[in-house]
Amino acid sequence: MRSGFVLLVLVTWLAACGGGKDGGTLEAIKKRGELTWGADLQGGEPFVYEDPANPKQVIGFEVDIANAIARRLGVKAKFVQYAWSNLVPSLERRDFDIVMNGLEATPDRQKRILLSAPYFIYAETLAVRQDSTYTTLADLKGKRVGTLNQTYAHDLLRAQPLEAVLYEGNEEPYIDLEQKRTEAVLLDNIIADRYGCVSTRPAVKCVPGDIARGTYVIGIRKGDDDLKAAIDSALADMRKDGELEKILRKENLWDARQSEPPPVMAAEDTVRKREFDGAMFGQFLDAAVVTLRLSLLAFLLAVPIGLLLAIARVYGGIVTSTLARIYIEVFRGTPVLLQLFVLYYGLAPYYSFSPVTAAVLGLGLNYGAYEAEVYRGALLAIPRGQTEAAKALGMAPAQTLRYVLLPQALRLALPPMTNDFVSLLKDSSLVSAITVIELTKRMTIAAVDMRSWLIPGLACAALYFALSFPLSELARRLERRLSRDQRPQAL
Amino acid sequence: MISVRKLSKRHGDRTVLAEVSAEVGKGETIAIVGPSGGGKSTLLRCLNYLEAFDAGEIDIAGTTLRPGMAVGHASVLRALRVKVGMVFQQFNLFPHLTALQNITLAPRVVRGFTEDQCDKHAKELLSRVGLGDRGGSYPHELSGGQQQRVAIARSLALKPDVLLFDEPTSALDPEMRDEVMGVIKDLREGGMTMLVVTHEMQFAHDIATRVWVIDKGTIAEDGPPSQVVDNPQSSVAKEFFGRLKK
């Protein structure tokens, strides 16, 4: 996550330099006998996914289409795994020949790359809870509506006066809908039919009728007009001779929409490109406040947890110290992202936390394990004579801890604690996975809205620094005040 | 004031204390001397139960100590330690507290005295050890001798009946030793009952009212300085004082 921003700037820069308008791809494909196509397995069934019977093999309707097109071009198709949001930049960088992975035809994409004829017509489907009366987007004014990041559905939601809640996976939007964390979910009918309005989710229903229609197309580099012509003709033949219908029927995707004329793409994007103006700056500040508040609350939770665990480990009996050690090893030894998912989605059927509560709890419980080891180290660094002196003065264990050991341990722990807090501040970006819009998420949203990473990235970096530096400075002063006798000796 | 009866302690195979018996009367100042590893410090630390022992009994300041009291007798031991103070070789002052706060901490949290009462008493104690003007200083701002005098004042703040000193001057320069010795001498004049583990010949000779020579876990010789130091009978004492005199 931390390296994300640098990476993104780099990717943008590389893409800008890459250009790639020289064509010649079709010739190269025929020469090497292989058509390489980029897609993301995370999109899941039915697009491109690992065969449950043979996980080394990918299957799905897009695999079948790619194979059919390749066959008609006289070559073999080769799948290449890429993160979905990087597919278009990677195409431009010539990492593969074409993109095919539920890529929606939008005016913005058409400006950037060549788009083939559609191979599938989808509908944006609104899912709501059974007892709900919402039927249109207009009904959902001011409400929370879930969708996937960077999709056409997201564009539709952004054009409405409602709060779009963004996800990266197909299941999570519907889990949150069940849990009443959102009021509706807008997604392609392929996803809605398979993940949303299914028998295992009796509380969710799909509103009949299409909110909008769109098409999936194959992305081709600018300049490769001959490749586009070849693919379009292959697709037209497949439509004519029934192979496309056969492929779509195999995955249960053939419906009446496929026989109807494809929807006409709007000339301009429904969402206008945004500038980094006062309103956006305000959104960045709000997100920075979310980040700071989350981090402070999580740390306020982590410190007492860490203290208790450290005391249990150092002074507890065999049972207490073993329990503390198990806690520390489990929370430190598993990814915090996983812990957030378990708290937010995994526990949802039993207890439904709000996103912010789950975020604070998840980060706090996780950092508590790290703090515990910091305090344990600090407690062990205090000379034995201190405990002995306190004992000899008739002090009880709790008094010894409170008045003698903890004050000394805390000032030893202050530099690593500052470290941990700054680290937590940045790790808090992980909570966007459970729909909290904090600083990093705000940056990625702004980058999509502005079609550029540079300014949002810089604003995001500046705000993180503006949050962490004063805190480091505060800690430095506190440390100087507390550690009068611990100034380093000259070497 | 103190009665030690057949006190024994082992560390694995090694006998640290072997059926030590001794009596200490009120107001006595006992110098405990002897070769290293002979059990001097262990005997001292058994007296306030900082170390447990395996057999025997100790009556001290109205409390009877027996083996196995480390678990389940915490409040008895705490009450005992209020009456039996201890001063360490390494001072063990609390570095995050000022001299005054070091002295007032235990009276405040253990005895529940108010801050005003404690401060007043602590200032008197600091004056008594010659540091009336250093109450606001932190331990690292004080010399070793000054730190040890604060540590003595800290022990006195609980108004103990007995004071135990574990090599109180071993970590100090000769000049500072005299400061600390002076304070202990004043305490003797004031009638405090004290046991002092020491290597200082001069202390044993000039300040102690009685000298114990401890070797191999037993009291090899016990008597007034004029007898034990000037005219030792046991071979250990002869050898010990003979070496120190050279």
Whether residue A60 has pLDDT greater than 50: yes
Q: Do B94 and A386 touch (CB under 8 A)?
A: yes
Q: Which domains does chain B have, with CATH numbers?
A: 2-245 (3.40.50.300)
Residue A19 pLDDT level (bands cut at 50, 70, 90): very low
Q: Tens digits of per-residue pLDDT, A199-209?
A: 999 999 999 98
Chain A residues whose beta carbon lies within 8 Å of the beta carbon of residue B94? 386, 389, 404, 408
Q: Do A385 and B88 touch (CB under 8 A)?
A: yes
Q: How much is the pLDDT for A447?
A: 85
Q: How much is the pLDDT for B237?
A: 87
Q: What average pLDDT does this structure show over A2-21?
A: 48
d(CA A429, CA B8): 63
Which residues contact residue B26 at a Cβ distance below 8 angstroms, ignoring those fewer than 6 apart?
B1, B191, B193
Q: Which domains does chain A have, with CATH numbers?
A: 4-119+217-259 (3.40.190.10), 121-214 (3.40.190.10), 278-486 (1.10.3720.10)
Residue A489 pLDDT level (bands cut at 50, 70, 90): low
B interface with A, Cβ–Cβ below 8 Å: 48, 50, 74, 78-82, 85-86, 88, 90, 92-96, 105-106, 109-110, 138-140, 154-155, 158
Q: Do B79 and A394 touch (CB under 8 A)?
A: yes
Q: Tens digits of per-residue pLDDT, A176-185?
A: 999 999 999 9
Q: Tens digits of per-residue pLDDT, A33-46?
A: 999 999 999 888 89
Q: Tens digits of per-residue pLDDT, A234-252?
A: 999 999 999 999 999 998 8
Q: What average pLDDT does this structure show over B75-103?
A: 96
CA atoms within 13 A on the CB side of A210: 13
Q: What angle do CA B13, B19, B24 make, to 5 degrees?
A: 135
Extract the tokens encoding B43. 């005997």
Residue B46 pLDDT level (bands cut at 50, 70, 90): very high
Whether residue B243 has pLDDT greater than 80: no
Chain A residues whose beta carbon lies within 8 Å of the beta carbon of residue B162? none
Chain B residues whose beta carbon lies within 8 Å of the beta carbon of residue A411? 96
Q: How much is the pLDDT for A262?
A: 87
Beta strands in chain B (DSSP E): 2-11, 14-24, 29-33, 55-60, 63-65, 84-87, 162-166, 193-197, 210-215, 218-223
Residue A8 pLDDT level (bands cut at 50, 70, 90): low
Q: Do B81 and A392 touch (CB under 8 A)?
A: yes
Does the CB of A403 have a partner CB in chain B at under 8 Å? Answer: yes
Question: Measured between CB atoms, which of B78, B85, B92 is closest to A388?
Answer: B92
Does the CB of A441 have a partner CB in chain B at under 8 Å? Answer: no
Residue B80 pLDDT level (bands cut at 50, 70, 90): very high
d(CA A365, CA A376): 17
Q: Beta strand A204-206 with A76-81: parallel, antiparallel or unpaired?
A: unpaired
Whether residue A9 has pLDDT greater than 80: no
Lowest mean pLDDT among A11-20, A283-292, A416-425, A429-438: A11-20
Does the CB of A404 have a partner CB in chain B at under 8 Å? Answer: yes
Q: What average pLDDT does this structure show over A303-331?
A: 96
| Calculated CA dihedral for residues B30, B35, B37, B40, nearest 10 degrees | 0
Q: Do B78 and A403 touch (CB under 8 A)?
A: no
Question: Measured between CB atoms, which of A392, A404, A484 is closest to B50?
Answer: A392
Q: Are B23 and B2 in contact (CB under 8 A)?
A: yes
Chain B residues whose beta carbon lies within 8 Å of the beta carbon of residue A393? 81-82, 85, 105-106, 110, 154-155, 158
Residue B102 pLDDT level (bands cut at 50, 70, 90): very high
Give me chain A's average pLDDT, please. 89
Extract the tokens encoding A484. 């009068």
Neighbouring-strand partners of residue A36: A78
Lowest mean pLDDT among A330-334, B82-86, B165-169, B228-232: B228-232
**B110 to chain A: closest CA residue:** A395
Q: How much is the pLDDT for A376?
A: 97
Q: How much is the pLDDT for A10?
A: 52
Q: Do A383 and B92 touch (CB under 8 A)?
A: yes
**B97 to chain A: closest CA residue:** A404
Q: What average pLDDT does this structure show over B233-243?
A: 84
Does the CB of A383 have a partner CB in chain B at under 8 Å? Answer: yes
**C-alpha distances in angstroms, A454 versus A6, A9, A93, A458?**
10, 6, 19, 6
**A411 to chain B: closest CA residue:** B96
Q: Are A143 and A162 in contact (CB under 8 A)?
A: yes
Q: Do B82 and A404 touch (CB under 8 A)?
A: no
Give me chain B's average pLDDT, please. 93
Question: Measured between CB atoms, which of A383, A388, A399 is closest to B109?
Answer: A399
Lowest mean pLDDT among A23-27, A222-226, B109-113: A23-27
d(CA B30, CA A403): 33
Cβ neighbours around A479 below 10 Å, total: 15
| Total-model pTM | 0.80
Q: Kindly report the nearest CA distance between residue B172 and chain A, in angstroms.
A: 17
Residue A484 pLDDT level (bands cut at 50, 70, 90): low
Q: How much is the pLDDT for A44?
A: 84
| Residue among A393, A410, A482 with most chain B CBs within 10 A, to mutate | A393
d(CA B127, CA B194): 21
Percentage of chain B lying above the pLDDT 90 cut: 82
Question: Measured between CB atoms, which of A383, A388, A394 is closest to B106?
Answer: A394
Q: Tens digits of per-residue pLDDT, B118-141?
A: 999 999 999 999 999 999 999 999
Chain B residues whose beta carbon lies within 8 Å of the beta carbon of residue A389? 88, 92-94
SS3 A330: helix
- Give ipTM to 2 decimals: 0.94
Q: What are phi and psi of B233, to 5 degrees?
A: -100, -45
Q: Do A393 and B50 touch (CB under 8 A)?
A: no
**A402 to chain B: closest CA residue:** B109
A84 vs A463, higher pLDDT? A463
Q: Kindly report the nearest CA distance between residue A486 and chain B, in angstroms.
A: 9
Q: Tens digits of per-residue pLDDT, A332-382?
A: 999 999 999 999 999 988 988 999 999 999 999 999 999 999 999 999 999
Lowest mean pLDDT among A18-22, A308-312, B171-175: A18-22
Q: State the angle between helix axes of A454-482 and A406-427 in degrees (0 to 180), rounded to the nearest 10.
A: 180
SS3 A392: helix
Beta strands in A30-143 (DSSP E): 34-39, 49-51, 54-59, 76-81, 98-99, 114-115, 120-129
Question: Measured between CB atoms, which of A385, A389, A393 is closest to B158?
Answer: A393
Whether residue A14 has pLDDT greater than 60: no
**B164 to chain A: closest CA residue:** A392
Residue A17 pLDDT level (bands cut at 50, 70, 90): very low
Selection from A248, A84, A93 nearest residue A154 by Cα: A84
Q: Do B106 and A385 touch (CB under 8 A)?
A: no
d(CA A184, CA A128): 5
Alpha helices of A186-277 — where are they, by DSSP H? 189-191, 225-240, 243-250
Which residues contact residue A339 at a Cβ distance below 8 angstroms, ignoring those fewer than 6 apart?
A331, A362, A365, A366
**A481 to chain B: closest CA residue:** B96
